[in-house]
Structure 1
């Protein structure tokens, strides 16, 4: 099944001027201002890399869609073998 991820904006996002939401709507009453004004969007918050490009640090997208990690697996041929489990004669102490 394919990814259900959705990117509503094409290209790099966002232009710092777009992030001046609080400044633009500062004179609006809270019940009249657009919902975006409640999202703490600000040009002062640094941008971080995500699977969708640059997003504001702390945003849900930054956590839910982080930059993909490398799929390269490195095998260490000189690593010791894992211990045999369960360990023989091991019991949890009863307090």
Structure 2
């Protein structure tokens, strides 16, 4: 099964925490929250995940280079912040 995770936002409501780090990478118990999202998706039968990125995408892609989450990851990096529908439409081929 496939999933699409929206992780492109700038996390403005969490500033100053999100100035230098994207919101999905804020650590909880020494792991980013996005890591736990992937583990939960795996636990519930998802095997392939596309992640929409915009704010500091390099931090996320570098962290998950050595992917140990058990799901196949595909990153979609936007050149500008898109709305939800546009982000999903742009990766229509993934589904």
* Higher Cα radius of gyration: 1
Q: Could you tell me the TM-score, scaled by structure 1's length?
A: 0.27
Q: Could you tell me the TM-score, scaled by structure 2's length?
A: 0.27
Flag the structure with higher helix content.
2
Flag the structure with higher strand content.
2
